[in-house]
Structure 1
Amino acid sequence: MAAVLILLTFLLLLGADAEEIIGGHEVKPHSRPYMAFIKFVKDDGKNYRCGGFLVRENFVLTAAHCMGSAMSVTLGAHNISFPEETQQIIPVAKAFPHPGFNNKTFPNDIMLLKLERKALKTEYVRPFSLPRSNVHVKPGDVCHVAGWGMLALKGKLPDILQEVELTVQKDQECEFCFRRRYNKATAICVGDPKIKRASFLGDSGGPLVCKNRAAGIVSLACNDGSAPGTYTRVSSFLSWIQKIIKRS
């Protein structure tokens, strides 16, 4: 439990806005047209970043702990350091964090962002498929996570989209690390603790892609720079997602 508290303190000091790609590689430019780069301001007045993914022309799905003010979304990006012709930068009109989210224990870490206008669908910008309610990932499934998070614990934030391949683990791996904060009904345990590949500080809100669908959302890591991590199980929130989109 002490290790978990130390980790939470560490995350808060760094903004706790994201997870980081460790042991990954640069993706083929614009091969992930659903990816969203999210910028926002926290209460401390500093700028932060998260990942996310387009699920409708005017809705982006991300993590609830990526909440802030002056939120904007960049779509169609590979290198975020300069304005590529493929990019569409759209302000967020309204954020819908899950009502059951708690920023101390991170349950229900999921949020929808309604954009001020619809994104123009191109070969570089396209919505991504949500999982089917009756199809679940299982231990041993190989998935991948992309984002603009740091490449090392003390490294700088990269400009180029990175990706890492991760394996789904048994729930016991995360139940041991996260104790009572891990709920297998709404979360997925991902990342082999014996391999130096993980999401950590820099990518929260990005999609865990399994079988060409967004099975999870990057939420929280167990240990600094190592696996496993807990990912919000998207299939557990399909009715909530559909309700928000329909009402908005």
Structure 2
Amino acid sequence: MSLTMQLLILVLLPLAFLLPPGSQAGEIIGGLEAKPHSRPYMACLSIQRRGKTYICGGFLVAENFVLTAAHCNGDEIIVKLGAHNIREWEQSQQTISVCHQIPHPQYNKETTNNDIMLLQLAERAKLNRWVDTIALPRANERVEAGAMCNVAGWGGTSTHCESNSARLQEVDVLVMQDAACPSNGPYHYYNASTMMCVGDPKMGKDSWKGDSGGPLVCGETAQGIISWGPPTPPGVYTKVATFIPWIEATMRRLKP
């Protein structure tokens, strides 16, 4: 292959692999069905945008706030909590509309930097054994490379299939060094201060379309948000610890 062709491929790769803003972002690949209701913080977002419906993940951080990715915005968002099978009615489920979408003020659609959004719910969720909040990290807390974390979602289970999973899927993923998402290829827009590089390419386990906005859980804490990446791991996650001051200030400002 000529040097010119190699350079052209490097330039085009990020354009091909970066999830378009508002696409059905991140399905779980290489994972298993989660134990029903073992993740009571998980939220399934049904997003209406220009007459089409998309799904994203999210997670409950307070009775009336869900955290997700900024690219999961829409004209209207309905949040389903307490679900395992999103295609069936379950007595555990609570469906609540979103009254206020607050993307990070520095969210950049082109680079997907600062890909984080708070959703204020129209009514408070009723916390119980099926619906509960998850803890957030301390501001600027670090997750070391080599840590094994976990992601879950109702997104696709194969890069060859457009359909989403009815039941919640989960998979363990390895936190990588920032160097595993080098800025000279499909990770052209990777920013180590606001993003995490997650998923060992040798293990082939990853999030996929429809998972976007879901949490990267390390221990009992939501350390990341599924954001973007190429069809193979590692994927790129929003680093939640960077945004703790913004999250806390926004929730204080909006709480009645």
> Above 0.5 in TM-score?
yes
**Farther off after superposition, 49-58 or 126-135:** 126-135
Query: Which of 3, 16, 38 does residue 6 from structure 1 map onto?
Result: 16
Where does residue 24 of structure 1 map in the other structure? 31
Query: Which of 218, 223, 240 does residue 210 from structure 1 map onto?
Result: 218
Looking at structure 1, the residues matched to 98 and 140 of structure 2 have their Cα atoms a distance apart, in angstroms, of 31
Residue 249 of structure 2 corresponds to residue 220 of structure 1: no
Looking at structure 2, the residues matched to 179 and 128 of structure 1 have their Cα atoms a distance apart, in angstroms, of 29
Alignment of 1:83-98 (within 5 A): 83-98=89-104
Per the alignment, in what secondary structure is the counterpart of residue 181 of structure 2?
Answer: helix
Return closer, same or farther for 1:179/1:148 CA change in 2, 3 Å cut-off: closer
Query: Which of 177, 184, 194 does residue 186 from structure 1 map onto?
Result: 194
Looking at structure 1, the residues matched to 29 and 67 of structure 2 have their Cα atoms a distance apart, in angstroms, of 23
1:133-186 CA-partner distances (Å, limit 9, x unpaired): 253101100001000001111222110000011000010111244454111111
Alignment of 1:79-228 (within 5 A): 79-133=85-139, 135-155=141-161, 156-176=163-183, 177-221=185-229, 223-224=230-231, 226-228=232-234
Return closer, same or farther for 1:178/1:236 CA change in 2, 3 Å cut-off: farther
Alignment of 1:52-91 (within 5 A): 52-91=58-97
Where does residue 39 of structure 1 map in the other structure? 46
Question: In structure 2, what residue type is equivalent to 1:189?
Answer: C
TM-score for the superposition, normalised by structure 1:
0.94
Looking at structure 1, the residues matched to 186 and 150 of structure 2 have their Cα atoms a distance apart, in angstroms, of 22
Looking at structure 1, the residues matched to 83 and 117 of structure 2 have their Cα atoms a distance apart, in angstroms, of 21
Looking at structure 1, the residues matched to 69 and 24 of structure 2 have their Cα atoms a distance apart, in angstroms, of 9
* Structure 1 segments (4+ residues) deviating >2 Å: 175-180
CA radius of gyration, larger in = 2
Answer yes or no: is the 8 Å Cα contact 2:54–2:210 preserved in 1.
no
Looking at structure 2, the residues matched to 75 and 201 of structure 1 have their Cα atoms a distance apart, in angstroms, of 20
Cα RMSD (Å) of the superposition?
A: 1.4
Q: Report the identity percentage.
A: 48
Unaligned runs of 5+ in 1: none
Unaligned runs of 5+ in 2: 1-10
Alpha-carbon distance, 1:17 to partner: 2.5
Looking at structure 1, the residues matched to 221 and 238 of structure 2 have their Cα atoms a distance apart, in angstroms, of 14
Looking at structure 1, the residues matched to 195 and 140 of structure 2 have their Cα atoms a distance apart, in angstroms, of 15
TM-score for the superposition, normalised by structure 2:
0.91
